[in-house]
Amino acid sequence: MEKTGRIIKSISGFYDVFDNESEEIVRTRARGNFRKRKIKPLVGDKVSFDATGDLGYILEILPRENSLVRPPIANVDQAIVVTSAAEPNFSSNLLDKILVNIEHNRIEPVIFLTKADLLSDDKYVELKQDLLGYHQAGYLVFDDQDSYNSQQLDKLKATFADKVTVFTGQSGAGKSTLLNHIDTELGLATAAISQTLNRGKHTTRQVSLFNICEGLVADTPGFSSIDLMEITPEELPTLFPEFLDYRDGCQFRGCRHVNEPGCEVKKALSEGKIMQSRYDNYLYFLNEINSYKKRY
């Protein structure tokens, strides 16, 4: 009997599928021809499956809205970018690189600041001022000094309903700790930062989707570096939402906002309507993308 559902967990060749009709979890395997067709089912995939017998079989993977390689997951609606204020230190370059990748995958990003309580009050005020630019660029930002206060957590949980949400961000930024504060049942492993490297140890091994606040939430590995290999120089300016507000006023269609005359984005930058750090990171990424092209 053919049914439809969503893969919520993958364990060494087996896939746990949430059955849309019965709302039960069915353990399945992928059909043999998947391997021949070089198709690998991902957590988050919407599938049709046959549930007769003790073990179900995935018959077909329904078209994906998007998919990520790291973590391997499909059909993601929202990404909570966990970014630490200290240990490891806040990096606008890394945050912007993650945001650009998320925008490229047509996923809605949300910024969540952790470890701000480790900063002096002056340093925190300074960082909050920097984050104001992200608010102005249209991002939803959670930046209370006490990251895990119940009011802020309730506001974050309210964004989960009817969405598949992933947690991502720099290694050691505190993704698993945040998830434990959201739902203590998860009991996810958290690890201390490796002081010598000032980098997190990867504490999360596999992707599973958990039912939280009427949505599905994944705990995912962090990363300490990420590249822009899939992004073209043409696409990059479209991945900065605040640039889109001004680009129609540019003199040239397809303006890269670098040296072109009559560039409305650069005008907005000079008037303080666009963050200097975001624009600097944009130029840095553009340079990185152009250097890939030269190399290949």
Are 219 and 179 contacting, i.e. CB atoms less than 8 angstroms apart?
yes
Helix axes 175-182, 150-157, angle to 10 degrees: 90
250 is in an annotated binding site: yes
- Does the annotation flag 172 for ligand binding? yes
The reply, when asked if residue 10 is annotated as ligand binding, is no
User: What does the alpha-carbon distance between residue 266 and residue 278 come to, in Å, rounded to a whole number?
Assistant: 12
Give the span between the Cα atoms of 16 and 19, in whole angstroms.
9
The residues, ordered by sequence, that sit 6+ positions from 220 with a Cβ below 8 Å of its Cβ are 71, 73, 166, 167, 168, 175, 204, 207
> According to the 3-state scheme, what is the secondary structure of 226-287?
CCCCCCCCCCHHHHCHHHHCCHHHCCCCCCCCCCCCCCHHHHHHHCCCCCHHHHHHHHHHHH
> Is 213 annotated as belonging to a binding site?
no
Please give the Cα distance from 287 to 282 (Å, whole number): 9
Question: According to the annotation, is 263 in a ligand binding site?
Answer: yes
For the beta carbon of residue 53, count every other beta carbon within 10 angstroms. Answer: 7
Q: What share of the chain is helix, strand, coil (3-state, %, to 5)?
A: 30, 25, 45
176 annotated among ligand-binding-site residues: yes
Known binding residue 224? Answer is no
Residue 169 annotated as lining a ligand binding site: yes
**Is 117 among the annotated ligand-binding positions?**
yes
Residue whose token pair is 């053919």:
2
Tokens (6 digits) for 252: 């040239």
Tell me whether residue 174 is annotated as binding: yes
Is 114 annotated in a binding site? The answer is yes
Q: Which helix (H) or strand (E) holds 155?
A: helix 150-157
Which residues are part of a known binding site for Zn(2+)? 250, 255, 257, 263
Q: Binding site membership for GTP: which residues?
A: 114-117, 169-177
Annotated binding residues: 114-117, 169-177, 250, 255, 257, 263
